Structures are given as C-alpha cells and as structure tokens.
C-alpha cells in the first residue's frame, strides 16, 4: 500500500461526468486546496498539509489523470485543458462546503491553479504558485540549447502515438529521471514515496501525456485570449520558484507581474521538489500569503 498523509481521511469525490478524484482531507477551518506536480501525487504535500491542518481544512487531490484519480480518455483535446482541470478543483472544494478557498499548486498543479485564478476569481481568495512559469510565457522563455532542460515538454507535445509508446517502453527510467535530477536532496524522497510516484506515473502514461499535450495547444489558446483581453489575477499571489530567470535569461518576477498585480515573488535554493525538500520554508510562505 502506498504511503498516506498521516491523520488525513481519504475519499473519492465526483467532480465531472465520469471523473472521480482521489482526495486526502484533514483539519478544520478556512479551506486551502493543494495541487501536486509532475511526476508526483497529492503525497508531495504530506509535510506542508500536516502543518496547515492545525488551523485550516486542507484538501489534497490527485489531479485528474494522476495518482489514484480517474484517467478519462481525451477525445476532443479539452479533457486535460487546465480550464477543465481547474473546474474540477472548484467543484471539489464546493463538495466539501467551500465556495471560496485559498489555492496552492506546484508544477503542473500550479498551471491548474493559475487557470483557476483567472477563470474563477470569486472562488479563489489567495493563490500560491510553486516553481512554474505561465504556459504562454514558458514557451517564450525556452530557446537555444538552454531549452534542453525542458525536453519532455517537446516530447509530450507531439501528436498521440509516439510519446506514449516511447515513455511506456521504459516508464520508470523516464519518470525516475525527473525525480533524480530535479532534487538537490535525494533524502527528501524516501524509497516508499519514490516508489509510489513511479507506480502512479507508470499507470498513467497516456493521461500524463495528454495533460502536457494540452499545454502545447488549448492551454496556449486560453492564455493568449486572456492576455489579449487584459485579464489578470485579482487576488494576492505568491510565486516561489528556483532562479529560472537567471538560468534561462529572463526576468521571472516581471513575467509574473504582468499577470498578477498583487505579487510576492521569491526564489529558493532548494530543488524543484521544494514542498518535500524545504517544507518549513513553503509553510512559512503559504502562511504569510494567507495573512495578506
């Protein structure tokens, strides 16, 4: 059996026709929803969630297509649009009785959270985005040989067939690569947690690829429409990320400020999996946001 977040209850909650999410929930008080990244599950929040549950209701789902949540077949290119996945999150929070809530996302979960903030501003009171660049800007800042760090984005952007076959041929090597190279503290991912991530990803190659493929298509269209319309995030926003701006040659804070007028932007010295490598820092950051 995979590890769980200590003290949390586990439920399955329907959020759309034919889509049920696996959810860990704990604590009581104002709601905070935590969305995981790639190649992980809700378990990445285990340290942060336990702390926040002291005075908040903390809701940690596996995103659709990931972990033990349902993995619907994407028949028309919208099944894994961040707009679709953001709607899942708002429906999920309402199922627990929360019309308005704070939202934090890491990596892929941060892209879902970003879209939720744009599409559902009345529902999102605070927004935290960890180690990501908005989809539209992500493609703009990747160029030259430095773009090799994001080779997986280009691989999974290809039409259905080849990416799934290549990744499915050796999924543990593929997903394990990111668990290895994106962390600066391997002990932050103990063997049982690493095994859970690999198991979950191995079982979800098609849906994970569909999620990434959406970010080379429909997600770009949605972000472009919002930029053209001048839509911005209306709530207080905190961005916590590695110093990607220095690594790739752009002003990361300026990129985010174009989307979020009420912005707190900080860089970290931990690796990509900061909620596991530096949970105390992430907790401090989230609590500061909740107090803004």
Active site residues: 107, 272
Q: Is the C-alpha dihedral spanning 241, 195, 213, 181 positive or negative? A: positive
At residue 170, φ and ψ (nearest 5 deg) are -155, 65
The strand pairing partners of 238, in sequence order, are 128, 264
Residue count (the chain): 292
The CB density around residue 121, as the number of other CB atoms within 10 Å, is 15
The strand pairing partners of 8, in sequence order, are none
Q: Write the DSSP string, 169-194.
A: HSHHHHHHHHHHHT-S-GGGS-HHHH
CA distance 167 to 32: 34
Residue 250 CB-density burial (10 A; 0-12 exposed, 13-18 middle, 19+ buried):
middle
Stretch (H or E) spanning 117? helix 108-119
């Amino acid at each position: 059996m995979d590890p769980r977040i200590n003290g949390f209850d586990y439920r399955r909650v329907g959020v759309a026709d034919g889509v049920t999410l696996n959810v860990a929930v704990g604590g009581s008080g104002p709601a905070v929803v935590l969305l995981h990244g790639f190649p992980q599950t809700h378990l990445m929040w285990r340290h942060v969630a336990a702390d926040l549950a002291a005075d908040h209701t903390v809701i940690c789902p596996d995103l659709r297509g990931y972990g033990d949540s349902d993995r619907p077949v994407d028949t028309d290119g919208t099944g894994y649009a961040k707009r679709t996945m953001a709607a899942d999150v708002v429906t999920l929070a309402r199922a627990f009785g929360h019309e308005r809530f704070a939202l934090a996302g890491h990596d892929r979960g941060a892209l879902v959270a970003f879209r939720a903030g744009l599409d559902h501003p009345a529902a999102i009171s605070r927004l935290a985005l960890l180690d990501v660049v908005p989809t539209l800007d992500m493609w703009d800042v990747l160029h030259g040989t430095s773009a090799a760090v994001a080779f997986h984005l280009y691989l999974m952007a290809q039409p259905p067939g080849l990416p799934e076959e290549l990744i499915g041929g050796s999924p543990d090597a593929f997903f394990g690569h990111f668990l290895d190279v994106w962390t600066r503290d391997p002990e932050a991912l103990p063997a049982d947690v690493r095994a859970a991530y690999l198991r979950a990803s191995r079982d979800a190659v098609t849906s994970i690829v569909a999620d990434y493929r959406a970010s080379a298509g429909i997600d770009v269209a949605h972000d472009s429409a919002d930029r053209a319309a001048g839509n911005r995030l209306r709530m207080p926003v905190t961005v916590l990320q590695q110093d990607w701006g220095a690594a790739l040659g752009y002003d990361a804070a300026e990129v985010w400020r174009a989307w979020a007028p009420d912005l707190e932007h900080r860089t970290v010295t931990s690796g990509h999996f900061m909620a596991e490598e530096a949970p105390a820092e992430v907790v401090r950051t989230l609590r500061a946001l909740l107090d803004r």
